[in-house]
Amino acid sequence: MVALAVVAGVAGCRDGDGGTKAAGASATARPATQSPEEAAKAVRAAYAKTSAAKGARVEMRLNVGGDKAPGGSTFTGVQAWGPVAADLKVYDSSYLADIPGAPVETRVLTVDGATYVDLGTGLSARTGGKRWLKVETGGAAAGDELMLQLTGGLTAASMDLPRELGLLAGASAVKHLGPGTRGDFKGAQGYEGELPQGGHMEVWIGADGYPMRTVVLTEADGGGVTTTLTTTYSDFGAEAAVQAPPAGETVAFTDLLKRLGRG
């Protein structure tokens, strides 16, 4: 992963005049008031609280750019970490809209190092009635165009919030963006920095010490896929009681390729 440009303003969080900042607005609208050391300390404290919570409810908007399957999807549900698990509804997806027979919205599960996508009745007719697509972590290349489409782009994103907060806290210069001034973000503190292993992260931390929203920009090794993942968090401590679908109801991604003539 390689570092990307500084993240744009987050949904007007810092817009003090009551307006909404457009995408691309400056991330330095308000001068920093904490030193890099103080900023890193605040992020480390959020990392500790987040790690202990084990999970949260999320709303994620993922946008994928580059020369392989650009598009976007929205996910809502429960996400866990340590180990990573998730039970998410997928909707407003340009990926699903582009696949003949795909459902308008569907469900994605992550458990035991694999991601499962409910193909719906239309697509499962092409898999011998097997309803769940199984994508193994580290299996087919994460930038594969068809896999990005079938998983709504989720395989191109990291969902390990504590890990990313830990990386941000360890960055060489964490920058304090100042306090939020509007709506739910009033009083929250914003921070940003380049992640040591590549990418850029912005986080807004509420008065209770938990992250309220993160924006993570990354670029896949080789430059073929870039992702912007914006996540809003609530209900820290929520459990993702995820179970893998029965093996007899799943089809592996590599087997699906063969069925589609790409094997």
Tell me the C-alpha distance between 92 and 73, whole Å: 6
Tell me the C-alpha distance between 159 and 59, whole Å: 12
Tell me the C-alpha distance between 156 and 142, whole Å: 6
Q: Give the pLDDT confidence of 196-231 residue by residue, as tens digits.
A: 887 899 999 999 999 999 999 988 766 677 889 999
Q: What is the reported pTM?
A: 0.80
Q: What is the mean pLDDT of residues 228-249?
A: 93
The answer to whether 60 touches 74, Cβ cutoff 8 Å, is yes
Percentage with pLDDT > 70 across the chain = 79
| pLDDT surpasses 50 at 158 | yes
The region of weakest confidence among 96-100, 218-222, 235-239 is 218-222
CB atoms within 10 A of CB 207: 10
SS3 at position 203: strand
The strands making up 55-66's β-sheet, listed across from edge to edge, are: 175-179, 189-194, 200-205, 211-219, 225-234, 55-66, 71-80, 85-91, 106-111, 114-118, 132-136, 250-252
Please list, in sequence order, all residues whose beta carbon lies within 8 angstroms of the beta carbon of residue 48, skipping any fewer than 6 positions away: none
The answer to whether 146 touches 262, Cβ cutoff 8 Å, is yes
Angle at 230 between CA 93 and CA 89, to 5 degrees: 40
Q: Give the pLDDT confidence of 31-77 residue by residue, as tens digits.
A: 558 999 999 999 999 999 999 999 999 999 999 887 777 889 999 99
